[in-house]
Amino acid sequence: MKKKSVRKIVTIVLVVFMLLLILGAAGVYLYYGYVHKDEFFKSITINGISCGGLTVDEVEDKIREGAENYSLTVTPKDGEPEIITTDMINYHYVSDGSVQNYFNQQKWYEWIKGYLNGYDESYQVAVKLEYDQEALKTAMNSLAFMQPDYQSPPVNSEMVYQDGQYVVTAAVDGNQVNSDILYEALKKAVDEAGTAVSVQDIGAYVMPTVTQGDTLLNANCNVLNTQTNMTITIDLPNDTKMTLTKDDFLSWMSIDEAGQYYRDDAVFNERIAAFVAQMKDAVSAANSSSYTFTGANGGTHTLSTKLNLGWALSTDEETAQLTQDIYAGASLEREPKYSRRRIAENGGIGNTFAEVDLSGQHMWYVEDGVVKMESDIVSGTLNIATSKTPPGIFKLYNKEKDRTLKGTMQADGTYEYQSKVKFWMPFNGGIGFHDASWRESGGSFFGGTYYIDGGSHGCINMPTDRAGQLYDLISTGCIVVCYYTS
């Protein structure tokens, strides 16, 4: 009986002890859980951070520390990388409550789960960051490669003339940055916590808009090289020149709405006509109105004339030739197309001419420098102004036989005079060479001083045989020179 009582007591004691032990353990468990109720369980990670034993604020601080330990490296294509730091843009972490939400999901009295094998809870929360966008723009503009003195703009390809032809130059990229593109790329990088931006890779450099392969530029080069790349030089009299260069032809070209050069024939014809007109004036300007020559008797005489005995341009021929030259597209040098050339010999008079010495009352016909005939003459009456034979240089413009020469018609219908001649060779209006048979009656009255008071009405009177001889020798267009020596 006694043994049973002892066994019962022992059992009670053991039960009580176990109860006390369980209650103590439970108290310790609850106490530990309660003491650490503001901390994350062991084996919990958030964004790779081991959160066991850390409060929400401590986890937030670690996230903040990692997030704000940030910098953005910006690399230009031709300079050193530059860094935008958090302090430059007021970059900071802002809690969105996600860490607190994860903490709220744990029950403090379940803290033992953190010590159980296989228990591992990992969370990823969005890290909300804020920064000053205006400060980012300011930071961007402060970068060394963004300074105006550092940047050089791109250079477009263009058409230039070099080494004898039009060519398209190579475009130059430069290093000018499009700040809008770069800013958007920087903003995107910061928003996504990116750490590097290559200015070149994001296409932020301002590029040439016209490159060496440009269709229009190359087409224009081809047109100008084939249609304007030439020099045409015209050798004018008196060692002067007129020149059309590539720049002249370029100014003649037309440009269509697309910017393409083309040759408008109507415009070219107009410019050619204007150039030929200038050439005609230049040729005429090379001529002289006075000529100094040596006569048949060896005397030197200077006479003026209204005749153009020198160079004369054939406008039609020159226009046709110049048009052909331009459209052939090759450089050349030539003389103009003349309708008449200046006589080189004898001061421009040449070696074939009729010469009348009005003071000496004698004439010569010279052919190729040789006197073929000569004769005494009677010229216009010196003392009558309207009859005096004028001096000058003229051209024989007609030849007739058996002509009746008539003076001015009088009021009664008769003529001042009517003289029949066998040979008529006019050279100055109504003045010309002719026979004067009436001066041969009863003798020969030519030469001497007859002309002073008894001369002709202005013509050059000649003995009939001499007039006939001259008629047979002289041709229309022959130069006639008349002069007084005293």
Q: What's the Rg (C-alpha) of the chain?
A: 59
Size (the chain), residues: 486
Q: Going by CATH, does the domain composed of 217-287+310-340 fall within 2.40.30.110?
A: no
Residue 149: is its pLDDT beyond 80?
A: yes
- Between 408 and 168, residue with greater pLDDT: 168
CA distance 67 to 371: 121
What pLDDT is recorded for position 128?
A: 75
- Between 442 and 51, residue with greater pLDDT: 51
Say what the pTM is. Answer: 0.64
What pLDDT is recorded for position 85?
A: 93
CA distance 123 to 464: 142
Q: Which residues of 178-202 are buried (b: 16+ CB within 10 A; e: fewer)?
A: eeeebbebbeebbeeeeeebebeeb
- pLDDT tens, position by position, 344-401: 899 999 999 999 999 999 999 999 999 999 999 999 999 999 999 999 999 999 999 9
What pLDDT is recorded for position 306?
A: 87
CA distance 99 to 45: 11
What pLDDT is recorded for position 107?
A: 76
**Is residue 217 very low, low, confident or very high in pLDDT (cuts 50, 70, 90)?**
very high
Longest alpha-carbon distance in the chain = 220
464 contact partners, CB below 8 Å, separation of at least 6: 422, 423, 435, 436, 437, 440
End-to-end CA distance of the chain: 198
Look at 11-25, 68-82, 182-196 and tell me which has the smallest mean pLDDT: 11-25
Q: Going by CATH, does the domain composed of 351-483 fall within 2.40.30.10?
A: no
Residue 480: is its pLDDT beyond 80?
A: yes
Q: What percentage of residues in the chain have a pLDDT greater than 90?
A: 67
| Mean pLDDT in residue range 88-108 | 81
φ and ψ of 82, to 5 deg: -125, 150
In the chain, where are the structural domains located? 1-35, 217-287+310-340, 351-483
Helix axes 179-191, 133-141, angle to 10 degrees: 130
| Mean pLDDT in residue range 16-40 | 65
In this structure, is the dihedral angle defined by the CA atoms of residues 72, 74, 80 and 83, taken in order, positive or negative?
Answer: negative
What pLDDT is recorded for position 484?
A: 97
Residue 25: is its pLDDT beyond 70?
A: no
238 three-state secondary structure: helix
27 three-state secondary structure: helix
Residue 413: is its pLDDT beyond 90?
A: no
Alpha helices in 204-314 (DSSP H): 215-227, 246-252, 265-285
What pLDDT is recorded for position 129?
A: 79
CA distance 106 to 101: 9
| Mean pLDDT in residue range 89-112 | 79
Q: For residue 224, what are its two tokens?
A: 């100008």
- pLDDT tens, position by position, 304-330: 998 888 899 999 999 999 999 999 999
